[in-house]
Amino acid sequence: MGFLDKLKLGRLREGLSETRENVFGKVCLLLAGRAKVDDALLEEVEEILIAGDVGVETAAQIIEKINSRAKQDGYQTTEGLVNLLKDEVQRAFVNGIPSELQDPSALSFVQKPHVIMIVGVNGVGKTTTTAKLAFLYGQKGKKVLLAAADTFRAAANEQLKIWAERAGVNLLQQARGTDPGAVAHDALRSAIAHQADVMIVDTAGRLHTKVNLMEELKKIRRVLRKQLPDAPQEILLVLDATTGQNAVEQAKQFTEAIGVTGLVLTKLDGTAKGGIVVAISKALKIPVKFIGVGEGIEDLQPFDREAFVDALFAR
């Protein structure tokens, strides 16, 4: 493992420290103090998972599979049960088996520009995620253009401009109150003209008009598709991990309205209930694409479920 990989893994472990200590650390301590596997022990493990926002249904399914595998493989003691738990938590994610995982930011695009819409409610970190994602693609050698389509929130353009400068990418913005669809249209035209690899559209999380947010997002999507039929190729929903089960409901609403293709979980470093990542992916069958484990511009990481689970169980 190279220096950068170790640094990345270190940041991941540090960012997940609260969840590790308050959820999976408790599980490990519980198992270490028991001599055999029985129903009472598994019930206690299930309760800890639920308390960590893994979700009632998901936790029950994980425990059921662990129980079945423990009996099938002849486990009579707690030795090895942690590995079973790690394996089942990994399997709960939609992202496929570890060997098939790829860094989403390193993919070769079939069509350029590859258009990404960033959506979510206010306060979840959409604007900073937009810039961090741009930085990540820039580090991979991609030419990136940001579109500041959150034209309703005060200082949104200024905030994105600062982050764009930090990321070293181009930004297209217009006056506050400009129609977001017009911003997206002009940005895509510019991205095509300048042969950008990636265009990322930052959208509003709340509108100051009577226009429904979801309808506004649908409009932006329609505007993009008039110029580029396959755009946006990705619609990434940003969720604040600290909101727990509320994030699941947000994911349902956005998915039903505009067809979310991937999830970005932010502020995992600020919660002891990081199990929400498992709950959302499992419940909605949507892959987690990126996770935020810190405030730095380099702290948005492509989601690797194997590394994620290893970090949760690290000792």
Segment 264-311, tens digit of pLDDT: 998 888 777 778 888 888 878 888 899 988 888 888 888 888 888 888
Confidence of residue 74 (pLDDT cuts 50, 70, 90): low
**What ranges in 101-155 are assigned the alpha helix state H?**
126-139
Give the start-end residues of each E strand in the chain.
Answer: 114-119, 144-148, 170-172, 198-202, 234-240, 262-266, 288-292, 300-302
Segment 123-133, tens digit of pLDDT: 888 999 999 99
This prediction's pTM: 0.87
Position 113 scores a pLDDT of 94
Could you give the CA distance from residue 59 to residue 44 in angstroms, rounded to a whole number?
11
Tokens of 155: 């200082």
